[in-house]
Structure formats: structure tokens, C-alpha cells
């Protein structure tokens, strides 16, 4: 295969993860072609919730203002039992550490439309709809992909890398014969989306209805939109349970047929899976192709967008010769345990939520009352990889994003680069030659202004912190000697003396 590729990256799948990948790659200046077999954007929603971290990833695409118009910060969440007693109430609605609300809801097609808009406007990346990937070869120097074009003809494209973001049934994963580990038990749920008019619904934005006679979830979306999900019981007739009359009945009148305008009702199988391997040669799996979680914490798509935010800047560094190909192995080592954490949390929560036995439910309620914090798990650090790992308590954790006095979010001033935030005297004591290399590098921004870096340093409990382009902490330092050591470990050929930079 010639080294003249058609693109740096071919992305299989134009769902939110594939299109998010194209958008992020485009912003970094890589070239990419996405293939999506469907001709039109999928009209119905699956995901309805993002967290603050994902809002920050999307902010990096320059769509924060548009996102604000199609998302709704969640204000209150609770869990209630069959007797309608509140077991735990989690206050939300405050701006969180990411400079965004910790929980927001949305209508998925609105967000996907925004992402496609970014791709349309970015030079070097494109999404080709109605084109199905039929075959690919994972070669030493790149990938060769065979597609069925919109007119039925065959096309062949080459790229250095391929990202399989082709969903739960991933053709890419199956072609590579990659199996998946199973977590928890699969369960069928009725998912109902629509508009609720002149009817109060529930007061809180998200409610886990731990009713053992029929477990359910309620989520209020922007405008008049609402989502309810109901466990399919053994005795249900799958055809009847999705009728308007059944929805009114199983929602206990919360979605009355006279005031609820349904957009769709469908039965989904909720699953917990993690692909055994996320990289084979030049091919990477991302999104549902790599992991599936029951949507109890609304983290499946969040995890998919974290995947591509983790991978995109590493591909960029390797493409530009700043880092070795081996840093791409840290995609799986960092992301897989993180995604697995959320799959396990969701599977555990699903187990609680899906209890249909009254005694087990009473036991469950007592456990929730005794341990209410389990209702709101906190994201773990990344797995071992491109950060100082166990050597540094903060490494691999997500950095905070400050909102500055003029309402500017700090990331908007920084770009997608490494950030060295330091007390001025600590930075100024660095070796002159190193400072020269840092200040000549397009991959690093130095942040010494206390008005801008104080919150970051305070949250990291350090005199200096190095943050990666995906906003995870590379490491912290308490003085200039430690900072110098840290910077020389960065995976940037222009900065380092050493050639290897993978820590476990
Ligand atoms: C009911 C429900 C509720 C959920 N709620 C949430 C939530 O609140 N928050 C959250 O974060 N997540 C949630 N999730 C999970 C979330 O919806 C998924 O994780 C996310 O949509 C996956 O996106 P994706 O791009 O990886 O895959 P998909 O959206 O499945 O996209 C894959 C695309 O690849 C295309 N494709 C497949 N094969 C080929 C091929 N050979 N050639 C070309 N194209 C191909 C497909 O047509 C498809 O468009 C929920 C899921 C469900 C089912």
C-alpha cells in the first residue's frame, strides 16, 4: 500500500461517537473520512443525559452556545420506592468542577445535528452517508477499506488508522474476532419518548421509580419532552405493552394518552459488555463497539465521547512525529478500566432497580437509606497510561475548569494542548533551555496568571500541574525540580530527552 493515504483516519459509523471523532480530529487538523450506512440521521433518541465532562469535550468543538440551547441542566434527582417514599435525593443544578452542570438532559438528534454541523464546517474531515463498510484489511502501515457506495458500486479507501465506532453490533469488532466480557444480566425495557402537554408529570428531573411491581425511570428533557423507561415483566405481551393505553396504565397516569404525544415506544435490551481488546494494529474500537452499559447513570454515550477525546490527540501527536506509535496502546489501558467502572456501576444499579420481589425491595431500600452516596458514583481516574499513575495522587484524574470573572471558561483560552499551570516563581526557576523548548512548542500553553490558574492549582493541591490536551492531569509538582522532571517526561519529541513515556 502506498504511503499516500486517502486520509489519516477512516471512521466506521456516523452515530454520535463516530461523528464526534470526525469533529475532534478535524479540530486537531487531521484528515478523516467517516462512513455511515444509513442515509439520514437516526430520528429517535437513545441517550438523554450527559455529564459535565462530556459538556467540556463538546465545548472544545466550539459549540457551547448552541449546546446551551438544546440542553437542560438537571435540577433534582431522587429515588423512590413502591410506597412513593424518597429513599435518597441528590441535589443537582449547581455548576460542577468541569465548568458545566454535572448533569444535563437533551434530545439526542439535536446534539447529533450539532456534531454533524461541526464536521460540515471543518476542512479535512467529512461524513459520507449511505455508504456501508463491507470489508477492511489491517495492514502493517495502515488500513485498506472496501465500501459499498451510495450508487451500489464498490469503493476502496486507505488510511493510516481506522476507528470502529459502528455501534453495539460492530462489524469492525466482529471482523477482528474480538469477544466481549459480559456484566450482569440482560434485561428488556420499554423506552417511551414524547411530549407531555398540560400535565405536571413528576416534579424532579430524574426519578428512579424503584417500584417492585414495575421498576421504571422518569427523565424530564428540554421543552415539553419527557422520557420514561419501564421494565418489561414476564407476563407482558410485547405488542400490547407499547400501546398508548398500556403506557398510560404502567406510568400510573403520569403519561395520560390524552396529554401525552408519543414520539416512539420501543423495547430495548439493556446489556453490560466490554470488548476484550480495543486495539488491533491500526484499528481502534470506540463507543458502543467497545462497551455497553445499562443506561441507569446515563453514561454509555458519555463513555464513547471520552474514548474519542482520549484517542484523538494521541493520533495527532503520532501523526506529527511528536510521539511514538506505542502511546496509542495507552488508549485501551487508560479507557478500558474507566469504562468498565461505569458498566459495573450501572449493572449494580440495574440489579437494585430491577428488583421485583417485595422482600428484596425492602432490603434494597434499607441499603440505599444506609448508603445514600452510592446513588451518585464519582468517575474514577484513568487506568495506567500516559500520566504519572500511582506515583502521583492527582495523575489520571480530570482537572477542574474555572469560569473566569468575565464568564469565560478557561479551556476556551487554552486550546487543545498540554497546559503547564504553575506558580510563577516555580516556572521561572526551570532550566532556561527547557523553558525555551516549552515556549517554542505549539503543543504546550503555559499558565502563570494567578487569576486564571489558582483554582486549578488549589484543586490539584500543588505548586504546578501539567494537564493533557484531554484535560486529564499528567502529573503535579511541588517545586521547580519536580516540575522539570515532569515536563521532561511529556510525550513530545521537541521537549523530552528520553524516548519512552508510558507509566504504569
Ligand atoms: C434506551 C437507552 C438510553 C440511553 N441513555 C443514555 C444516556 O442517557 N446517556 C448516555 O451517555 N448514554 C445513553 N445510552 C447509550 C447511548 O445511546 C449509546 O452509547 C450511544 O448512542 C452509542 O453511540 P455510537 O456512536 O457508539 O453507536 P451508534 O449510535 O449505534 O452508531 C453506530 C453507527 O454505525 C453505523 N454502522 C454500523 N455498521 C456500519 C458499517 N458497516 N458501515 C457504515 N456504518 C455502519 C450504524 O448505522 C450507526 O449509525 C442509552 C442507550 C439506550 C439504548
Residue 444 placed within a domain: yes
Q: How far is the CA of 451 from the centre of ligand 1 (A)?
A: 41
Q: How far is CA 427 from CA 107, 154, 464, 489, in A?
A: 45, 56, 8, 16
State the Cα–Cα distance between residues 67 and 23, nearest whole angstrom.
15
Residue 104 placed within a domain: yes
Q: What are 118-177's pLDDT values in tens digits? A: 999 999 999 999 999 999 999 999 999 999 999 999 999 999 999 999 999 999 999 999
Q: Is 116 in the pocket of ligand 1 (CB under 6 A)?
A: no
Least confident of 46-60, 81-95, 121-135: 81-95
Q: What are 128-143's pLDDT values in tens digits? A: 999 999 999 999 999 9
State the Cα–Cα distance between residues 294 and 375, nearest whole angstrom.
15
Q: Closest residue (by CA) to atom 41 of ligand 1?
A: 133
Total residues belonging to the chain: 504
Residue 418 placed within a domain: yes
Q: What are 476-498's pLDDT values in tens digits? A: 999 999 999 999 999 998 886 54
List, in order, residues 6 or more apart from 486 with CB less than 8 Å away: 388, 464, 466, 474, 475, 476, 477
**In which band, very low, low, confident or very high, does the pLDDT at 406 lie, cut at 50, 70 and 90?**
confident
- Tell me the backbone φ, ψ of residue 4, rounded to 5 degrees: -80, 90
Count of domains for the chain = 2
My answer on whether 17 and 128 are in the same domain is: yes
Give me the pLDDT at residue 503, please: 37
My answer on whether 163 and 282 are in the same domain is: yes
| pLDDT over 80 at 115, yes or no | yes
Mutate to test the pocket of ligand 1, among 15, 147, 188 (most ligand atoms within 8 A of CB): 15
Q: Indicate which atom in ligand 1 lies nearest the CA of residue 292.
A: 19
Residue 236 placed within a domain: no
My answer on whether 401 and 466 are in the same domain is: yes
Nearest to 399 by CA among 382, 383, 384, 413: 382
Is 395 or 374 the better-scoring residue by pLDDT? Answer: 395
Stretch 449-466: mean pLDDT, rounded? 96
Q: How far is the CA of 167 from the centre of ligand 1 (A)?
A: 5
The SS3 assignment for 356 reads coil
| DSSP labels, 370-388 | H-GGGGS--PPPP-SBSS-
Beta-bridge partner residues of 180: 275
Q: Indicate which atom in ligand 1 lies nearest the CA of residue 147.
A: 42
Q: Is 287 in the pocket of ligand 1 (CB under 6 A)?
A: yes
Q: How far is the CA of 217 from the centre of ligand 1 (A)?
A: 20
Last residue of a domain, one of 298, 332, 355: 355
My answer on whether 343 and 451 are in the same domain is: no
My answer on whether 413 and 346 are in the same domain is: no
My answer on whether 419 and 339 are in the same domain is: no
Q: Closest residue (by CA) to atom 52 of ligand 1?
A: 46
Q: Indicate which atom in ligand 1 lies nearest the CA of residue 293.
A: 15
Give me the pLDDT at residue 240, please: 96
CATH of the domain at 479: 3.40.30.120
Q: Closest residue (by CA) to atom 30 of ligand 1?
A: 167
Give me the pLDDT at residue 375, please: 73
DSSP state of 379: P
State the Cα–Cα distance between residues 35 and 354, nearest whole angstrom.
37
Side-chain-facing half-sphere of 434: CA atoms under 13 Å: 20
My answer on whether 417 and 317 are in the same domain is: no
206: cell is 430524574
| pLDDT over 60 at 501, yes or no | no
| pLDDT over 60 at 54, yes or no | yes
Q: How far is the CA of 168 from the centre of ligand 1 (A)?
A: 7
Beta-bridge partner residues of 189: 231, 268
Percent of the chain at pLDDT > 90 equals 88
Give me the pLDDT at residue 93, please: 72
Stretch 34-53: mean pLDDT, rounded? 94
End-to-end Cα spacing for the chain = 35
Strands annotated E in 213-259: 216-220, 225-231
Stretch 292-298: mean pLDDT, rounded? 92
Q: Indicate which atom in ligand 1 lies nearest the CA of residue 302.
A: 11
State the Cα–Cα distance between residues 288 and 167, nearest whole angstrom.
5
Give me the pLDDT at residue 498, please: 46
My answer on whether 62 and 105 are in the same domain is: yes
Give me the pLDDT at residue 3, please: 66
Give me the pLDDT at residue 352, please: 86
* Mean model confidence pLDDT for the chain: 94
Give me the pLDDT at residue 407, please: 86
Residue 266 placed within a domain: no
My answer on whether 422 and 298 are in the same domain is: no
Stretch 24-49: mean pLDDT, rounded? 95
Looking at the whole model, is its pTM more than 0.85? yes
My answer on whether 338 and 423 are in the same domain is: no
Residue 207 placed within a domain: no
**In which band, very low, low, confident or very high, does the pLDDT at 322 lie, cut at 50, 70 and 90?**
very high
| pLDDT over 80 at 431, yes or no | yes
**In which band, very low, low, confident or very high, does the pLDDT at 389 lie, cut at 50, 70 and 90?**
confident
DSSP state of 87: E
Q: Is 396 in the pocket of ligand 1 (CB under 6 A)?
A: no
| pLDDT over 90 at 452, yes or no | yes
Q: How far is the CA of 18 from the centre of ligand 1 (A)?
A: 9
118: cell is 461541526
Q: What are 187-225's pLDDT values in tens digits? A: 999 999 999 999 889 989 999 999 999 999 999 999 999
State the Cα–Cα distance between residues 38 and 46, nearest whole angstrom.
17
My answer on whether 13 and 119 are in the same domain is: yes
Residue 256 placed within a domain: no
Percent of the chain at pLDDT > 70 equals 97
Is 43 or 312 the better-scoring residue by pLDDT? Answer: 312
CATH of the domain at 345: 3.50.50.60
Give me the pLDDT at residue 1, please: 60
493: cell is 519529541
| pLDDT over 80 at 504, yes or no | no
Q: How far is the CA of 456 from the centre of ligand 1 (A)?
A: 34
My answer on whether 68 and 157 are in the same domain is: yes
Residue 137 placed within a domain: yes
Is 373 or 178 the better-scoring residue by pLDDT? Answer: 178
Stretch 369-386: mean pLDDT, rounded? 89
Q: Is 34 in the pocket of ligand 1 (CB under 6 A)?
A: no
Q: What range defines the domain where residue 398 resides?
A: 389-488
Q: How far is the CA of 448 from the centre of ligand 1 (A)?
A: 41
Last residue of a domain, one of 335, 355, 375: 355
Stretch 285-297: mean pLDDT, rounded? 95
Show the CA angle centred on residue 426, arms to residues 420 and 428, nearest 5°: 90
Amino acid at each position: 500500500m502506498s504511503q499516500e493515504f486517502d486520509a489519516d483516519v477512516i471512521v466506521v459509523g456516523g452515530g454520535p461517537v463516530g461523528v464526534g471523532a470526525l469533529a475532534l480530529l478535524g479540530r486537531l487538523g487531521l484528515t478523516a473520512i467517516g462512513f455511515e450506512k444509513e442515509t439520514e440521521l437516526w430520528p429517535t433518541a437513545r441517550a438523554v443525559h450527559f455529564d459535565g465532562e462530556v459538556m467540556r469535550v463538546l465545548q472544545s468543538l466550539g459549540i457551547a452556545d448552541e449546546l446551551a440551547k438544546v440542553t437542560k441542566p438537571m435540577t433534582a434527582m431522587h429515588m423512590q420506592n413502591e410506597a412513593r417514599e424518597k429513599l435518597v435525593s441528590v441535589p443537582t443544578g449547581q455548576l460542577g468542577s468541569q465548568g458545566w452542570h454535572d448533569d444535563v438532559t437533551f434530545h439526542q438528534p439535536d446534539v447529533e445535528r450539532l456534531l454533524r454541523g461541526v464536521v460540515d464546517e471543518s476542512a479535512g474531515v467529512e461524513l459520507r452517508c449511505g455508504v456501508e463498510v463491507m470489508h477492511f484489511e489491517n495492514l502493517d502501515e495502515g488500513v485498506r477499506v472496501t465500501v459499498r457506495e451510495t450508487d451500489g458500486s464498490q469503493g476502496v479507501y486507505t488510511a493510516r488508522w481506522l476507528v470502529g465506532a459502528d455501534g453495539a453490533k460492530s462489524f469492525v469488532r466482529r471482523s477482528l474476532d474480538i469477544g466481549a466480557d459480559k456484566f450482569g444480566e440482560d434485561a428488556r425495557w420499554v423506552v417511551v419518548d414524547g411530549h407531555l402537554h398540560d400535565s405536571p408529570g413528576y416534579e424532579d428531573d430524574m426519578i428512579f421509580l424503584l417500584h417492585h411491581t414495575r421498576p421504571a425511570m422518569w427523565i424530564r428533557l428540554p421543552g415539553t419532552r419527557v422520557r420514561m423507561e419501564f421494565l418489561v415483566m414476564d407476563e407482558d405481551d410485547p405488542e400490547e405493552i407499547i400501546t398508548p393505553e398500556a403506557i398510560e396504565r404502567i406510568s400510573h397516569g403520569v403519561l395520560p394518552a390524552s396529554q401525552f404525544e408519543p414520539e416512539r415506544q420501543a423495547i430495548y435490551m439493556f446489556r453490560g459488555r466490554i470488548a476484550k481488546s480495543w486495539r488491533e494494529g491500526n484499528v481502534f474500537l470506540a463507543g458502543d463497539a467497545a462497551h455497553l452499559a445499562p443506561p441507569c447513570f446515563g453514561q454509555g454515550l458519555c463513555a464513547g465521547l471520552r474514548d474519542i477525546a482520549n484517542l484523538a490527540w494521541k493520533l495527532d501527536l503520532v501523526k506529527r512525529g511528536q510521539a511514538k506509535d506505542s502511546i496509542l496502546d495507552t488508549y485501551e489501558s487508560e479507557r478500558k478500566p474507566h469504562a468498565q467502572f461505569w458498566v459495573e456501576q450501572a449493572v449494580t444499579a440495574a440489579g437494585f432497580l430491577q428488583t421485583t420481589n417485595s422482600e428484596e425491595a425492602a432490603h434494597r431500600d434499607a441499603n440505599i437509606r444506609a448508603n445514600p452516596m452510592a446513588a451518585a458514583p464519582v468517575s474514577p481516574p484513568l487506568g495506567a497510561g500516559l500520566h504519572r499513575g500511582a506515583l502521583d495522587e492527582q495523575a489520571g484524574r480530570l482537572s477542574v475548569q474555572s469560569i473566569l470573572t468575565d464568564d469565560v471558561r478557561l479551556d476556551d483560552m487554552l486550546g487543545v494542548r498540554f497546559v503547564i499551570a504553575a506558580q510563577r516563581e516555580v516556572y521561572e526557576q526551570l532550566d532556561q533551555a527547557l523553558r525555551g523548548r516549552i515556549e517554542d512548542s505549539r503543543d504546550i500553553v503555559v499558565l502563570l496568571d494567578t487569576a486564571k490558574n489558582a483554582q486549578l492549582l488549589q484543586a490539584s493541591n500543588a505548586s504546578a500541574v501539567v494537564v493533557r490536551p484531554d484535560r486529564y492531569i499528567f502529573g503535579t509538582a511541588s517545586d521547580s525540580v519536580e516540575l522539570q522532571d515532569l515536563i521532561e517526561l511529556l510525550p513530545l519529541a521537541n521537549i523530552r530527552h528520553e524516548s519512552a513515556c508510558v507509566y504504569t
